Chain A
Amino acid sequence: MPKDVATIDPITLQVIRGSIETIAEEMAHVLFRMSFSSIIRESEDLGAGLFDTEFNTLCESESTPMHIGSIPGYLHGIQDTLDDGEWYEGDVVVHNHPYHGSSHTPDLAIVIPIFHKGELVGYSANTAHHIDIGAATPGLIIDVPDVYAEGMLFAGTKLYRKGKRNETMWRFIRNNSRAARQLVDDIEAQISSARLGVKRFNELLDQYGKELVFGACNQLMDYSEKMLRQRIADIPDGEYRAEGWLDDDGRNRGQQLPVKVCVRVSGDSITVDLTGSAPQTPTAYNVPFEGSTKVAAFAAFRKLLLDTATSDTRVPSNQGSFRPIEVIAPKGSIFNPISPAAAEARFTQCNYMIDLIMKAMAPVLPEEIIAGSSASISFASYAGVRESGDYWVFLEVNEGAYGGRPKSDGPDAIDNLMANTRNNPLEDLAMHIPMVCERYELRDDVMPGAGKYRGGIGVVKAQRMLTDGIITHESERHSNVPWGIFGGTEGAAGKCDIYNVGSNEAPEVMHSKFHGKEVRKDDVMAYYSPCGGGYGSPLERAPNKVLDDVLDGFCSPEHARDVYGLVFDLEAETVDLAATQKRRKEMATAS
């Protein structure tokens, strides 16, 4: 690769940057517009981009962060496993093996080599979450013995070889999924998207020449790296630690799993050391190291140090932003499992790790970090069998809430940290799947963490089955409440109930992770996501904001009086500022 071409003028650099970013966005656009399963088309649980022959990310679509940065891992894995041992023009590869670099098995990557004038110059690739790849149970899995229960494993598998379709492989795939039609059609959508990337990148190479384009890409990677290193250099050198607990592994109830984070800052580099975290679990509750653990650690520092909402310059999304960060997780641990451990349910551990990184950095980055967030996910698979004998499978990502922030409240009911999907419109869902939503609102059974800036409020989503079926649910933080910080109070834990609309029986209280739960017609799963912790003392919260929260039902009148020291007239909807000030002084003295 020509690395040392003369510095490229800023206009050309800007144009090439815009062009490759546009290609990535266009690839993602085709993928979600064209696809069939709601997890791709509505939730946009996907990633797409261009990569050089050394597997560096040149650009990636702004889709969900868990996908961003994961594709280099896939490319390394394909290198080791590729059919024929080499790439041909017209090849299309599918890959998802978690011990060969994938993020987790349902996220299939489609990779097409980019040949320019007969020479391999890079790859066009995307990843997307598929609803069923023939695992032990429909959709998601947790309590399974090993990676072979996760479904079809693809490693460097060619779906097209030299432009010729490998019909045997396609028939095999079709025969091994409960949602074969959607799986196969969504793979076709991925191929269309990757082909578009090849076409567009070739056009760019034709227009500007290979030297110039790759020279610009290298310059952009160096730029991203430099930006991140500058911010790291501003942090005092040292070791910053935090630890917490995960609920359980989805099988061994009551056995919490430790997560330990040590952030070592040295000059303009960072090491995230996860040593001391739980050993790998006997279920699928493990995190593939290359495709997920590292990706989450990279993302944590992009959020923390290159915040796109507060910085004036937008740093390009490429390999450069990964380089300053090293990640250590001992082999055989929950963040670096050894084959054949299953490793499909890996999201909540990643999010929790990021939350702990914030906590660890609080002493030195008080104006950048935020209080404890929901830092989990609610990932549910609902499935059943239609009268025709065909399966239906629906995957749903439920949102969480952020912790209070140095200058503003934690956002309510929104995808948290590594997650950033879109919800599935309930009206669209009900037109396609034998389910109907009973309730989708902010939680009103608990208060979010109080503070000068309060924590975000989680949601309650109650989904009702209209046929018998099976539910698997991956979530966290039923026992570990998001923390408050700098005087803010803690938020609220998550919970999940199952009940039947026609029955008077008490709801069944569910664990945060459960697998393959058989449910009946009219059973409802009600999920309550955790609420964020507060930032700063509640007594410093602007009185009118507390009143607003009371009127809007975000805060009970008692909570406003007892925790925020607010004196107010609910009927007149007014605050007594003088009395509030006096009461707050008394409360401050008393504590």
Chain B
Amino acid sequence: MARIGVDVGGTNTDLVLECSKGTFFHKVPSTITDQSIAVVDGIHQICDIAGIAKEDIEVINHGTTVATNITIEHNGAEVGMLTSRGFRDILHIGRHKRPHNFSLHFDVPWQSHPLVKRRNRIPITGRILPPTGEVETPLNEDEIREACALFRKRDIKSVCVGFMFSFLNDEHEKRAGEIVQEEMPDVYLSLSSQVANVIREYERFSTVAMNAFVGPQSALYLRNLEQKVRDGGIPAKLRVIQSNGGISTIDGCAKKPVGILMSGPAGGVLGALSEARLAGTTNILTVDIGGTSADISTIAGGELRIKNPRDTLVSGHAVMAPMIDLETIGAGGGSIAFLDEAGGFNVGPRSAGSEPGPSCYGRGGCEPTVTDAQVVLGRMDADKFLGGDLPLDSALSHKAIKEHIADPLGISVTDAALGIIKIVNNNMALTIRSNSVARGYDPREFSLMPFGGAGPFHGVALAELVSARDILVPIAPGITAAMGLLGSDLQYEHTRSVITNLFTADQAALDKANGVVAELTDCGRLDLDADEIPEDLQNFEVIAEMRYHGQGFELRVPMPKGGLTLDNKADVINAFHAAHKQDYGYSFDDALVELYNVRVIATAKARHLELAKLPKGASNDVENAFMYERLTVFDDGQSHVTPRLDRGKLGAGTRVEGPAIIIQHNSTTLVPPGYSAVVQDYGSLRLTKI
């Protein structure tokens, strides 16, 4: 039995295979126009490398950036929206708060890049009234059919429905959905009461609109991938990692891609966490540097942080879906360096990706990238990239930097390349700080973990910029996210608003809430059943999201096993007072307490990746690992003849002093002068200042 983790990045597709023969890593270039090509090719190749039959693969866990990239590049579906008459512009107004207090020239992402253009937001007559959810004005079905005719004329393939107060009564949304499906049989349909059935119109509408925006392409990709896997004779179950770090089915994700917007980065954070555990470190700043972007996260005390759904923004749009707390910036190996109109020297966020890729790839890209700078500085050996699988052309890197940066600025190519590195590092450091220092974490108590193929080039520079304690380079930095995919559990979350005053609630009111819990639990059970998880391995965590009556934010309290009763409701209320005191330092002991949402998290433990300890190193490991040496320029501008060491030949406990470059198939670690690298028990490298 074998399991595969496959993580698609902007530049490369990474694979990990775990089977009785051991753990295998592999990397293939991503195929951007259709990510599934590289995924399937990679699966075939890694099976060959491991020497196993495809039939032996039990599970494939997949991390994908398909949905994320759509939001970054603003190239999702043209979406049509049916919304309540009188409320056509909820998505345009948002929460009417500017992203900047002190600015006149700020961008308003929900206005400059709307998920649904105003012309395609069609108001429909029909009204649900609060607080009961009664129908005041019936739904005008003719208007819906007219809207569909307009959508057809505009060749719209994705439609969302967001009506006011649908969290109280979803019958209008459901009926509208039926009509849309009659009128437009092939439509990709999203209902706000199904995608995010919670109070607050803007956040709910924005979430459903995002689902509609990324939905068609994401679903097409996932179904296409599933088909290709089947056609390739691979019987394995295909799963996708969600933004919250749990895994889900293809079908679930195709219907609700809003849950996988952070799929790719989530794998990285999980991988970093498991590496950190192996190295006995609990405080880490993770920096996952890919070709296009860098994902930055803080793990304190060995715990993943999940964002409050009220705080989750994706490309400036509110999205109420559980996500690991991380930040993404447009800085990676493929980030393009350019001089702007005013002569400003910028790097990214525009990226050359893997097609055409950096200039040195020789695939037609002629703008200089961060990777080109590394090549020019002699840190990436053009003839040895990916073990020589993909030779690079250093002359092209030199030419691109000279023409676009060095000559216009009147500086040397080396100085221009150093400038590119410095700027991209600074951009990343600012984001690391905002994710750590700005949240009250002292980076001096944290190890910086750089990964992604290009990560360990930047590790020491970033650690110095943010004052991290040391640097921990994972076992296979290029493939950490894929490894994380094998360390994840199945996880499905279902939530619904069920506003109940717990003081006045009688058993009937409590039973209503219990009924919602039962329904949500059934949803979770269906999810796990579909995964063929036996009943005794299914776990359900039931959470009450509560607040004092009149407050605007909820705190989480566990629901009692067996549901709410008149006997145990006081315990729940007291647990809430305690949680409030814990978080805010005060509790309003005589205020009314209300249950607001219930959330059911259905989980099933998956087997985690097991790694063996590395054998102890011998005294001559460094000599044996020596491959060759070349002139390399470090960040301080000094050049040193620097040895290249084969990481695979360094045993546990071996110490390497800089300057050195430690090479493995999927990554290169830069050890500058003044730093040493020590191989840890499970194979990670710890870099510290000497």
Contacts and interface: CB of A to CB of B under 8 A. Distances in A.
A442 B584 CA distance: 38
A185 B588 contact: yes
A590 interface: no
A423 B93 contact: yes
Interface in B88-129: 88-90, 92-93, 95-108, 111-112, 117-119, 129
Contacts of A399: 93, 96
B87 interface: yes
A427 B199 contact: yes
A542 to B, nearest CB: 14
Contact of A34 (B98, B108, B584): B584
Interface string A358-375: 100000000011100000
A18 B433 contact: yes
Interface string A296-313: 000100111011111000
B439 A441 contact: no
Contacts of B111: 411-412
Contacts of A191: 586
Given A34-B551, A185-B588, A441 B104 contact: no
A430 B101 contact: no
A30 B438 CA distance: 16
A431 B549 CA distance: 11
A439 B438 CA distance: 39
B164 A431 contact: no
Nearest to A15: B437
Interface residues of B, number: 59
Nearest to A430: B130
Given A62-B101, A405-B104, A420-B101, A413 B93 contact: yes
Interface residues of A, number: 82
Contacts of A219: none
A42 interface: yes
19 contacts: A36-B551, A38-B552, A185-B588, A303-B103, A307-B102, A307-B106, A309-B106, A405-B105, A407-B105, A408-B105, A413-B96, A414-B108, A422-B96, A427-B200, A428-B199, A440-B90, A440-B93, A441-B87, A462-B86
B315 interface: no
B131 A430 contact: yes
Given A309-B99, A425-B200, A430-B130, 17 more contacts: A22-B438, A23-B440, A36-B550, A41-B552, A304-B104, A307-B100, A308-B100, A368-B104, A402-B104, A405-B105, A415-B96, A425-B203, A427-B165, A427-B199, A437-B86, A551-B117, A552-B118
Contacts of A431: 130-131, 199, 499
A588 B225 CA distance: 57
A6 interface: no
A415 B201 contact: no
B92 A68 contact: no
A309 B588 contact: no
A439 B97 contact: no
Interface string A9-42: 0010011001101110110001011111110011
A441 B89 contact: yes
Given A399-B96, A431-B131, A552-B117, A30 B585 contact: yes
A559 B556 CA distance: 53
A570 B323 CA distance: 43
Contacts of A79: none
Contacts of A192: 584-586
A459 B94 CA distance: 12
Nearest to B107: A309
A19 B550 contact: no
Interface string A186-200: 001101100110001
A446 to B, nearest CB: 15
B105 A310 contact: yes
B98 A414 contact: yes
A554 interface: yes
B379 to A, nearest CB: 25
B437 A422 contact: no
Interface string B251-293: 0000000000000000000000000000000000000000000
Interface in A61-90: 62, 64-65, 68
A553 interface: yes
The 10 nearest A-B residue pairs measured at CB: A18-B437, A41-B552, A430-B130, A552-B118, A439-B86, A36-B550, A309-B106, A309-B103, A399-B96, A422-B95
A569 interface: no
A402 B96 CA distance: 12
B338 interface: no
A327 to B, nearest CB: 17
Contact of B102 (A303, A358, A436): A303
Contacts of B499: 431
A22 B580 CA distance: 21
A532 to B, nearest CB: 12
Interface string A40-52: 0110100000000
A533 B421 CA distance: 43
A14 B426 CA distance: 14
A182 B550 contact: yes
A111 B86 CA distance: 44
Interface string A165-205: 00000000000000000100100110110011000100000
Contacts of A425: 199-203
A426 interface: yes
A432 interface: yes
Given A307-B102, A412-B111, A414-B98, A439 B433 contact: no
Given A30-B585, A192-B584, A441-B89, A19 B96 contact: no
A264 B467 CA distance: 44
Contact of B438 (A18, A37, A65, A414): A18
B550 A413 contact: no
A188 B586 contact: yes
Given A18-B438, A196-B585, A441-B88, A65 B93 contact: no
Contacts of A30: 583-585
Contacts of A553: 118-119
B591 interface: yes
A292 interface: no
Contacts of B580: 34
Contacts of A302: 102
B548 interface: yes
B296 to A, nearest CB: 15
A402 B165 CA distance: 30
B492 interface: no
Interface in A549-569: 551-554
B103 A432 contact: no
Interface in B198-235: 199-203
B98 A415 contact: yes
A421 B97 contact: yes
Contacts of A11: 467
Contacts of A432: 550
Interface string B538-563: 00000000001011110000000000
Contacts of A427: 130, 164-165, 167, 199-201
A33 B553 contact: yes
Nearest to A312: B344
A506 B410 CA distance: 72
B442 interface: yes
A303 B104 contact: yes
Contacts of B467: 11, 14-15
Contacts of A414: 93, 96-98, 108
Contacts of B443: 15
Contacts of B130: 427, 430-431, 436
B256 to A, nearest CB: 22
Contacts of A552: 117-119
A569 B93 CA distance: 29
B442 A422 contact: no
A431 B128 CA distance: 13
Contacts of A19: 437, 440
A48 to B, nearest CB: 13
A211 interface: no
